[in-house]
Amino acid sequence: MDPSQVGVLFGCYAFGMLGITPIIGFLSDRYRNRKIPLIFAMAFLAASTALFAFGQTYWQLAFARTAQGVAGGISWTICLCMLADIYPSSELGGVMSKVLIGNSLGFLLGPPLGKSYIDIHLCLLL
């Protein structure tokens, strides 16, 4: 693929997330059910990731990446709503900042630490 096609795949995730987040936020506040949508989002995320792993055409990859964005948007929105349900408004800003910092650290540190962990275990096996 050329770089513009890869860029579109990255954009598909954001497109899916942007499209579903306001809808799920509205529905989550209206129906107050958090468990069923979260379970659905996790199952949908697993299915879309499997489709992304086994997709063979560009359009399958674009569809799978958009589906990952939809599942991610559902799970993030529901999880942040759950935090808002649990914590009082006086503590909510601090709690959400810790969650978002943890997410950012996971994105930054996860790949290098994961690669180092795999490299160490491969060396031990050899």
DSSP conformational letter for 74? H
Q: Are residues 71 and 120 in the same domain?
A: no
Q: What range defines the domain where residue 101 resides?
A: 91-126
DSSP conformational letter for 1? -
Q: Which ranges of 3-57 does DSSP label H, i.e. alpha helix?
A: 3-31, 35-54
What pLDDT does residue 30 have? Answer: 87
CB 68 within 8 A of CB 16: yes
Q: Are residues 33 and 54 in the same domain?
A: yes
Q: Are residues 22 and 39 in the same domain?
A: yes
Q: Are residues 18 and 58 in the same domain?
A: yes
pLDDT in tens, 70-110: 999 999 999 999 999 999 999 999 999 999 999 898 888 88
- Total domains present in the chain: 2
Q: Are residues 23 and 66 in the same domain?
A: yes
What pLDDT does residue 126 have? Answer: 60
d(CA 31, CA 4): 40
Q: Are residues 98 and 76 in the same domain?
A: no
Q: Are residues 66 and 22 in the same domain?
A: yes
How many Cβ atoms from other residues are within 10 Å of residue 79's Cβ?
Answer: 14
Question: Which pTM does this prediction carry?
Answer: 0.81
Q: Are residues 27 and 66 in the same domain?
A: yes
Q: Are residues 80 and 98 in the same domain?
A: no
